[in-house]
Amino acid sequence: MKNISIRDVAREAGVSIATTSRVLNRLSTVKKTNKIRVEAAIRKLKFRPNVSAQRLASKRNNAIGLVIPRYSDIFHSFYALQVLEGVGLAVERLRLDLLLHITNGDSFLNISAVEGLIFSDIIGNEEEVDAVLEMELPCVIMNYLTKDLPVSCVAIDNFGSACKALEHLIKLGHSRIATITGELRSQVAIDRLNGYVKTLERHRIEKRQAYIRYGDFGRDSAVKATKELLRLKDPPTAIFAASDEMAVGAIQVCIENGINVPRDMSIMGFDDNPLALGFSPIPITTMRQPLHKMAVEATGILHKIITRKIKGKKDIVLSSELIERSSCQRLT
Amino acid sequence: MKNISIRDVAREAGVSIATTSRVLNRLSTVKKTNKIRVEAAIRKLKFRPNVSAQRLASKRNNAIGLVIPRYSDIFHSFYALQVLEGVGLAVERLRLDLLLHITNGDSFLNISAVEGLIFSDIIGNEEEVDAVLEMELPCVIMNYLTKDLPVSCVAIDNFGSACKALEHLIKLGHSRIATITGELRSQVAIDRLNGYVKTLERHRIEKRQAYIRYGDFGRDSAVKATKELLRLKDPPTAIFAASDEMAVGAIQVCIENGINVPRDMSIMGFDDNPLALGFSPIPITTMRQPLHKMAVEATGILHKIITRKIKGKKDIVLSSELIERSSCQRLT
DNA sequence: CTGAAAGCGCTAACAA
DNA sequence: TTGTTAGCGCTTTCAG
């Protein structure tokens, strides 16, 4: 039993290969009766076009690559998952194939297998990005804005989001507001910290060095930081944690120390990460990042670049949304 | 600037196309000097073979597909992530392309784009599995054992793992052991429950219906179940939770109720899921499932089937490992 | 609206 | 060890 090809379908339908190809490609220049006959033949023969041949002949390949850096714990990251899901959904709608490439930078995706690339993050993949750019392969970078590189970016406004978060806390009457930062080697964490600082300045609220504690997005670092904050002679009345995981840690420490959240301490998270929120004793007020949307947008832009509906660089910045739950309260 | 092809390389190197192809494919029948010249030409021209042409000509395509069901929260699942990471790693080592297909069953992966398929789970993809089997496309199913289907399976011995867990608790002197099950529509949850039941029987320990509480793998369900357990006139001294998430919930409830874990209550988890364990106030004793290994094995088997190093069905069952931490204690 | 035919870039006999 | 050449299965002019 050999594989059936377009030839067999053409013969079965009593038309030429060209006509068969036309109905395959939905070209409208086919007489209705012929179209029907071809479609019947396809069904009868269970014909599936050979994508490699299609790609070779058409010089299109209808596939994009998603490259994800291989950190040690990238796969414990809510971020990676949302990206994957968003891109996965988008490619399905766009009817593109998705080639997944998880790399620490030492291997490369075979470039001719895709028409474009999405980098879920630039960190750890700088070289590959450069290489791709040099080959003029369409590409978009997520979660990072660059003015220097001629490449489209889709990112979240972490600075603005942190500002929004702080505004909320201030509006609730807080002025003794601490923050637990994320891993400051990441731009994301820096932006969130800057948002914290700038908003305090804007409101002429005194900044205290002791209120800035350095975390790493993980729960343990927040546990440590929160304990330190509670030991302060003049402890804060609110904590802005740069991640929900850290917010959960902070809440747990407060509870263990008999401090009621939110009555005695307002705690705000960041991410709206259900993985973390599920473990919180009380619902956390947080900033919801449109990660999923970011991924969908990135895929859409890439597709438009590939199909030449966009030329040049196109950046998108998405903003986060305040999700009020019950871990923050008006200062009484 | 047109794309450079093998032709250009051959001309540049002063050899034939065939020879060029040979060095591309690492066929050892090429004279060293020619090999070097070709390699130099490739580098000079920055030549990258066109994979579609290679695939069309060779009838191999060096790509496999991973199909992941699109549950509403598949992407909050530790399971999906471990699978993805494991398969991702394996394909990189095997130098295969990975096509990712996240589906709720209504769309299909273009079969000619891959040489084989891995199903991360059979649930929700029964039809696609059947279709694939019918086309005789190599395929392996993860996390599910079937004797009925002529298809290779790689799964974890959930029954045996649960038995091991119970043995541990019993060895610690417990006999009033409760369990909080997973979502019983899944085979995994059923197997774990059966392991619980069978081990109690084997040790002639009285089974009480009240000690079996039905959860859904999620924290909330365990919170509810644990509260019920604590209200019992004759509460258990140990709880075997079918997931770490549930174990965390159970521990939190105990602590809230002034019950010391592990002194007054031993709690055992399942999964060794760092996402959950990080939120636990105390380190959880649990069963570590080799999910990552399962994914790597599945990829390996698929590759062997494709390359005909294996014929027929080949199943692998992996067992879990007891990870002793501090949420369980000898009954005093 | 249709068909013949020329490739797409590469692999793999086969012959040398 | 090498080169010649016939396809792989499809798309796409181009002429009808």
A252 falls within a domain: yes
**Which nucleotides of chain D does any protein CB come within 7 A of?**
1-5, 7-13
pLDDT the model gives residue A134: 81
Give Cβ neighbours of residue B309 (< 8 Å, ≥ 6 apart).
none
Q: Of A267, A281, A286, whose CA–CA distance to A324 is shortest?
A: A286
Query: Could you tell me the residue range of the domain that residue A139 belongs to?
Result: 53-156+293-318
Which residues, including other chains, have CB under 8 Å from residue A75's CB and lie 6 or more apart? Answer: B81, B82, B84, B85
Q: pLDDT at position B60, please?
A: 86
Are residues B58 and B42 both part of a single domain?
Answer: no
Q: How far in angstroms lies nucleotide D10's C1' from the CA of residue B54?
A: 14
pTM score of the predicted model: 0.86
Q: What pLDDT is attached to residue A75?
A: 62
**Per-residue model confidence as pLDDT tens digits over A63-88:** 999 998 877 566 667 888 889 889 99
Between residue 44 and residue 83 of chain A, the positions with Cβ below 7 Å from nucleic chain C are: 53, 56-57, 59
Among A101-110, B151-160, B174-183, B295-304, the range scoring the smallest mean pLDDT is A101-110
User: Could you say which nucleotides of strand C lie within 7 A of any protein CB atom?
Assistant: 1-5, 7-13
Helices (H) then strands (E): counts for chain A: 12, 12
Identify the pLDDT of residue A324. Answer: 97
Average pLDDT of span A211-216: 97
Query: What is the structure's pLDDT at B250?
Result: 97
Query: How many angstroms is C1' of C9 away from CA of A44?
Result: 32
Same domain for B226 and B304, yes or no, is: no
Mutate to test the interface with A, among B96, B99, B110 (most CBs of A within 10 A): B110
Number of domains in chain B: 3
- For position A24, which CATH number holds? 1.10.260.40
Q: Do A52 and B75 touch (CB under 8 A)?
A: no
Cβ distance of A61 and B82 shorter than 8 Å: no
For residue B248, the chain A residues in CB contact (below 8 A) are 279
pLDDT at A253 > cutoff 70: yes
Place of tokens 């649930």: B123
Domain assignment of residue B327, yes or no:
no
Residue of A nearest to B53 (CA): A56
Backbone phi and psi for residue B302, each to the nearest 5 degrees, phi listed first: -55, -45
Q: Are residues B257 and B281 in the same domain?
A: yes
Cα B101 to Cα A91: distance, rounded to the nearest angstrom: 9
Distance (Å) from the C-alpha of residue B255 to the closest C-alpha of chain A? 10
B252 and B107 fall within a common domain: no
Shared domain check, B163 and B151: no
Backbone angles phi and psi of B91, in degrees to 5 = -65, -30
> Using the CB atom, is residue B53 less than 7 Å from strand D?
yes
Residues A184 and A124 in one domain: no
If asked whether residues B274 and B180 sit together in one domain, one would say yes
Q: Is B240 inside any structural domain?
A: yes
Residue B296 CA: distances (Å) to CA of A85, A228, B86, B118, B156: 22, 43, 5, 11, 13
Return the pLDDT at B15.
92
What pLDDT does residue B28 have? Answer: 72
List pLDDT tens digits, range A13-40. 999 999 999 999 888 788 899 999 999 9
Q: Determine, yes or no, domain membership for B222.
A: yes
- Interface contact A84-B84, CB threshold 8 A: yes
The whole-number pLDDT of residue B1 equals 44
In a domain, B243, yes or no: yes
In a domain, A165, yes or no: yes
pLDDT at A2 over 70: no
Contact A110 B48 (CB under 8 A): yes
List the CATH number of the domain containing B89.
3.40.50.2300
Q: Look at residue B79 and tell me if it is in a domain.
A: yes
Beta pairing partners, B215: none
Asked if the Cβ of residue B6 lies within 7 A of any atom of strand C, the reply is yes
* A152 and A203, same domain (yes or no): no
B148 and B171 housed in the same domain = no
Evaluate whether residue B237 is within a structural domain.
yes
Contact (CB, 8 A) for A196 and A166: yes
Residue B323 has pLDDT above 90, yes or no: yes
Q: Report yes or no: A94 and B88 within 8 Å, Cβ to Cβ.
A: no
User: From the Cβ of A175, is strand C under 7 Å away?
Assistant: no
Q: Are residues A239 and A191 in the same domain?
A: yes
Residues B137 and B109 in one domain: yes
Residue A68 and residue A94 share a domain: yes
For B200-245, how does the pLDDT look when each residue is reduced to its tens digit (9 = 90+)?
A: 999 999 999 999 999 999 999 999 999 999 999 999 999 999 999 9
Nearest to B124 by CA among B191, B71, B187: B71
> What tokens appear for B80 in the block?
């999906």
Q: What pLDDT does A1 receive?
A: 44
A114-151 per-position pLDDT tens digit:
999 999 988 777 888 888 888 788 999 998 888 888 89
| Residues with Cβ within 8 Å of residue B34, at least 6 apart in sequence | B13, B15, B19, B23
DSSP 3-state assignment of B57? helix
* Distance from CA(A138) to C1'(D8), angstroms, rounded: 29
- pLDDT, chain B, mean: 91
Q: Do B137 and B113 meet the contact criterion of CB atoms below 8 Å apart?
A: no
Do B247 and B268 meet the contact criterion of CB atoms below 8 Å apart? Answer: yes
* Contact flag, residue A7 CB and nucleic strand D, below 7 A: yes
Cβ <8 Å between A48 and B101 = no
Q: What type of residue is B253? A: V
